Structure 1
C-alpha cells in the first residue's frame, strides 16, 4: 500500500538580504504510513517546522523548495497548482501552528473561526458545523463548551486558545494532521487531557499525524516512530521504544539526557543569610479585570490575597494551570495591570501601581519576558534594532558601543552575531524567545519576570538557557520570578515554588521539598502530571490523575469556599465546600491553603 506521505531528497533554502542561498533542509527522505504518528524532533533551527510546512507545499517568505519531492496520498504537493493545494489545506491536510495567539483574528468570535474550514469547503451547514465544534470543545476539556465559542480570542487563556486551534484543525476530519508544538502553551494537567484526546481521535478516526515537538516526553506518548533532526539533516530514525532504549546517535543521547528532570540544589544557609532582605515583596494583592465595585473587587477577579517575597540572587517559581493567574501576577508586578488592592515593594520602596507612573530606573530594574515572542517583537525591526532600543533608553549607548553590546547580548543567549541583521519573521520560535530574553538582559535589571521563557525551546537549548540564567544569577545577583507550566524547567532553576490555583496561593515551599513531597492535593496533581520518558505512561495515569477541570475565582464563594473542592481527592464534605480556607504557615516555612491538619498532609505526602 502506498504511504500517506513520501518525502524524497527534500532540499529547502532561504535567501538572505545579501542574495545568498542558505540550505535549511538537506536531502531529507522519509515515509509516513496511513494511520501512523511520526514525530519530528530536534532543536530550534533544525528544520522541523520547515519540513512540516513543505508537506503542504508551503514555504515561508524568502524560503524555497529547491529539490526533491513531497507526495501526499499519491499526489505531488510541489507540482500541483496553488488552487489544488488550497483545496487540500484545511480539508484533507490540517495544520496546527505553534502560536495560537498569532493565528486567531481578534475581531471575530472563536466559533466562527473554528468552523471556517467547514464553510470554505462547503462540507456542512452552519448549524451542523457549530454543533460539531461544540462537541470538539467538550472533548478538548474547554470550559463552558456551549458558550466559549461566542467569546473573542483575547477573552480566553493561552492554553484554552491552543485547544481551540486544535479544534479548528480536527473539525474537518482531515486525512493528515500536522501538529507543530501543539501543547507548548498548555499546563501539565490540561496537556494530559489534550494528549489523551489527540491519541484517541487519531486512532479512532484513522488519522495520520506528523507531530513536531521539542518535548521528548510528550512525543513518547504520541508517536509510533521518531525522526531526529539537526541542522536540517536526519540524525536518526526509529520506533519510539527503540529510540528511548537504544539511541544510536550521540545527538539523540544528548536530547534524552536533557529531557530528564533535574532539581536545583538548595542554597546554603550562609547564602540565605547574606540575602535576607528581599528585592521584591508582594503584599495582599487583589487584581482582575473590569469595573471595580464598592468593595474594591474587580468584575472579573483573577488574583486574591496573593503575597510573596524574592531575595536577591534567588528564583521563585510560580506554577499552576492556564487561567490560574500566573501571567496576571507578572503584569501586576511590572505595572502593566494596576492592582485593585495590595502593594508591590522593590528593595523596600513601594512601587506605583501603574508603569506609567514609575521612574525610568524603576522600569529598568524590573523587566519582563513575555510568553509569546510573536506578539512582542516588532516584525519591521531588525534584531539589532530591537536589542539596541533598551540600550539607548536605559544606558545611553549609541554607535559602536551599542553594536558591541548587542553582539554580547546575542552571545549570552547562544545566538550568532549575524542574527543582528535578521528580522523576527526569519527566526524560529526558540530563537525569537532567546531574543526576548536578551532584550530584558539589556536593561541590567535587579529582577526579571520570566513568563514561560522556555516554553518555545527544545530540551537541549532549554537546558542551555536555564544554565545561562543560573550563571547570570551567580555573577550579577539578579532575581527571577519564573512563571511556567513546565515543571521540569521550574525544578531545575527555582529555589522556591509557589502553587497558584484559581488566583490563590495553595502551597509555597522550597522547590526540593515540594517536588519530593507535595503537601497540597493540587500540588500533588501537578507533579503527578509531568510526562515521563516511557511509552505507556499516559495510559498508566488515565483516570487517576485528573478530577474535573480548572475553576476560577468567580466560581468560588458562598457554598464553595475552597476553589479546589470539586477536584480534590481528600476534601471534607460539609467543611471544604462551606468554611473559608485560610493560608496557614506550617513547620519548616511551609505555607499551605488547606483545612486538613499538618499531620494529615504530611502523612499523605509521604505515600
Structure 2
C-alpha cells in the first residue's frame, strides 16, 4: 500500500482539442495516495475528459498534447452512467467472479472458488451493496441507477485500483446511500488509494475532498484546499397552490422484476398543476413507479388512470395522444439519443411524431425549447457524443416538453447539472401553474434541495409508500423514522468516515 502523500498519478499541461476546439486546455493535476481531489465546474467544462485521460481514453479524433502519468491497469473508473459499462446480457455476479478468479489463480484448485467468493463478498460490502447473493443473480437493468454505480465501484476495488475516478458518484443516490458512498470513498482513500472526485454536489465535495480544482471552459481557474462549511438547508420557495382537479390516479399498483416484487400496492393522485416529489433510497421502487406511469414497465397489476381513463400498461399499446400526454425524462440521457444524428433534429422529431408538425416548424420549436434549458443553437446542432451528460439531460427535457405533455415524469434530471443550470431547469418546472410548459410534474429525485420546490412529496421504502404530505412538512418535520434518516445531511457520516477516531 502506498504511503499517504505519495503521488500516484499526474497530468501536466494536458490539452485535448476536438474539431479545432480545446475542450481541455493546459490542465495540470497531481493525485496523491490517500487523498481525495475534487474536480468541479459547470457541465461541459472538461471534467470527464480530464478524468478519462488518466485511463488513456480520449474523444474520437482528439489531438492530445501534454503528459499523463498513471499506474497502468490500476486506475478504476466509476462513470456517471454506469449502465454504459455493464454488460446487459450478463448477470451482475459474472464479471465480479471473473475478476476475482484472476486474483486467486495461484491458489490450489480446491481453494479458488471459496477465495473468489470471499473477495466478491468483501467488494460488495465495501461498495455498500449488502444485497449480496440476491443481487448477483440479477441483470444490470434490474438494478437501480445507484446500485449500478456501486456495482462498478465494487469492480474497481476487486481490480486492486491505486487510483479511483468517481464521476458524479452520488448522482442518482438517496441521502442515506449518498452518506454511505461518501463514507466508502473516504475509506478507500484511507487505504492509500488516490481518489479523483468529479462532482456537481457541493455538499459532497465539501464533506469529502482534501483538494478542490475548478475548471471553466477546459482551464483550471482555481485550486486549493477544500473549505469546510455547513451544508445548505433545504428552504422551499413559496408556490401558488395547484388546481384541485384530479389528473392522474394510481390504484393498487404492484410491480415486479421477474419474481422479485419491487413495488407494493402503491396509491397516489396527481392534481392538474401539481409538482409531486418522489423520494426514497436507491432500489426502493421510485423509478419503477415512474416507468409504470409512462408505460415503460408493463409487469404490474393495478391501474394508472389519466382523467379517469385507464392507460394501457405498455406504451406500445398507447395512442399517440396518450404517448404525448405522459412524457418521461430518463436519468441516463445519453442512452436516450441516437449517437449518429444531431441533437436538435432528434428533439424536433417529437413534435413531428406526436403533434403532427411539419419538420421546419418543429425544428424552430426545438431550438426555442433547447434555448430555454440553456443550450445554444451551436451546441444543439452537435451529435450527442459532443455534449456533456448535463447538456444531454437538458436536451432530453426539451424533447419531452416539445410533446406538450399533461404529465412530465422526471427521473433524476437535475443530478448531472451544475448549480446554475440546475436552478434554471428547476425554474422551468416550478414556475406557477399556468406559467410553465407542463401542467403536472412527477419528480423522482434524491436531491432534497430540489424536492423542496415540490407541492407534495411521497417517500418509498422497500417498495411501499411510507410517508406522504406537503413537501415542506416531509422534509422538515418527517413522521416516519425512515424519512427522518433520509433527510439528514451527508456531512456527519462523512466526517466520521474521514476521522474514524473522532465522534461524528
What TM-score results when the alignment is normalised by the length of structure 2?
A: 0.90
Q: Aligned residue for 2:46?
A: 47
1:479 alignment partner in structure 2: 440
- Give, in whole Å, the separation in 2 of the partners of 1:526 and 1:107: 33
Q: CA deviation at 1:539?
A: 6.4
Q: Partner of 1:500 in structure 2?
A: 460
1:116 CA drift (Å): 4.3
Does the alignment pair 1:362 with 2:328? Answer: no
Question: How much has 1:227 moved relative to structure 2?
Answer: 0.5
1:429–1:456 contact (8 Å) kept in structure 2: yes
| Distance across 1 between alignment mates of 2:61 and 2:181 | 34
Would the aligned equivalents of 2:183 and 2:493 in 1 still touch at CA under 8 Å?
no
Q: Residues 11-30 of structure 1: matches in 2 within 5 Å?
A: 11-15=15-19, 21-30=20-29
CA distance in 2, matches of 1:40, 1:54: 13
The structure with more radius of gyration = 1
Distance 1:389 1:261, change over 3 A: farther
Quote the offset at 1:14 in angstroms: 0.9
Q: Give 1:351 deviation, angstroms.
A: 2.7
1:285–1:339 contact (8 Å) kept in structure 2: no
Q: 3-state SS of the aligned residue for 1:227?
A: strand
Task: Indicate the SS of the match to 1:506.
Answer: strand
How far is 1:190 from its partner?
Answer: 1.6
Bigger relative contact order, structure 1 or 2, given CA contacts below 8 A and separation 6+? 2
Q: 1:304-338 CA distances to partner (integer Å, 9 max, x unpaired)?
A: 22111222222010111122111111122122234
- Deviations along 1:102-146, whole A, 9 cap, x unmatched? 111112232332354566788766633442122111232323324
Question: Corresponding residue for 1:353?
Answer: 313
State whether structure 2 residue 182 is matched by structure 1 residue 210: no
Is the aligned partner of 1:176 residue 2:163? yes
SS at match of 2:182: helix
Contact in 2 for aligned 1:355/1:363 (Cα 8 Å) = yes
Residue aligned with 1:536, SS: helix
Query: How far did residue 434 of structure 1 move?
Result: 1.0
Corresponding residue of 2:376: 416
CA contact (8 A) 2:142 2:257 kept: no
Specify the alignment match of 2:30 in structure 1. 31
State the distance in 2 between where 1:345 and 1:533 align: 42
TM-aligned CA deviation for residue 450 of structure 1: 0.7
Are residues 453 and 490 of structure 1, via their aligned partners in 2, closer, same or farther at CA, if it must alter by over 3 Å?
Answer: same
- 1:61 equivalent to 2:60? Answer yes
1:520-599 equivalence runs, <5 A = 520-528=480-488, 530-532=489-491, 536=495
The aligned counterpart of 1:96 is 78
Report the alpha carbon displacement of residue 150 of structure 1 after superposing the two structures with TM.
3.7
What is the DSSP-based 3-state SS (H/G/I as helix, E as strand, rest coil) of the residue aligned with 1:449?
Answer: strand
Offset, 1:500: 0.9
TM-superposed CA distance for 1:481, in Å, is 0.5
- Which residue matches 2:93? 111
C-alpha deviations, 1:250-304, integer Å up to 9, x for none? xxxxxx9xx8344323545xx44xx1112212222223244xxxxxxxx432222
CA contact (8 A) 1:115 1:168 kept: no
Deviates more, 1:35-44 or 1:53-62: 53-62
The answer to whether structure 1 residue 190 and structure 2 residue 177 are counterparts is yes
Secondary structure of the structure 2 residue equivalent to 1:435:
helix
**The one of 425, 443, 465 aligned to 1:465:** 425
Q: Which one of the candidate residues 131, 135, 142 is aligned to 1:155?
A: 142
Give the drift of 1:376: 1.8
> 1: CA distance between counterparts of 2:492 and 2:213?
16
Q: TM-score, normalised by structure 1?
A: 0.76
- Could you say which residue in structure 1 is the equivalent of 2:212? 226
- How far 1:223 moved relative to its partner? 1.3
Give the C-alpha shift of residue 542 in structure 1: 11
Q: CA deviation at 1:524?
A: 0.4
Q: Which is further off, 41-50 or 345-354?
A: 345-354
**Residue 134 of structure 1 corresponds to which residue in structure 2?**
121
Retained in 1: the 8 A contact 2:38–2:209?
Answer: yes
Task: Note if contact 2:276-2:442 (Cα within 8 Å) is conserved in structure 1.
Answer: yes
Q: From the superposition, tell whether residues 54 and 300 of structure 1 become closer, same or farther in structure 2 (CA, over 3 Å).
A: closer
> Offset at 1:4?
2.5
What is the alpha-carbon distance in structure 1 between the residues aligned to residue 95 and residue 261 of structure 2? 28
- Asked whether the 8 Å contact 1:162–1:185 carries over to 2, the reply is no
Tell me the distance in 1 between the aligned counterparts of 2:438 and 2:387: 31
CA shift digits 1:396-430 (9 cap, x unpaired): 22243122112112102111112333121221111
In the aligned structure 1, how far is the partner of 2:128 from the partner of 2:483?
Answer: 20
Cα distance between partner residues in 1 of 2:347 and 2:432: 18
Q: Cα offset for 1:460?
A: 2.5
- Out of 68, 83, 92, the position equivalent to 1:70 is 68
Counterpart residue number, 2:475 = 515
- For structure 2, the 5+ residue unaligned runs are none
Instruction: Look up the match of 1:263.
Output: 235
- Pair 1:156–1:535, CA change in 2 (3 A): closer
Q: In the alignment, what sits opposite 2:253?
A: 285
Query: For 2:466 and 2:419, how far apart are their aligned partners in 1?
Result: 29
Matches within 5 A, 1:359-438: 359-438=319-398
Structure 1 unmatched runs, 5+: 16-20, 74-87, 246-255, 291-298, 546-607
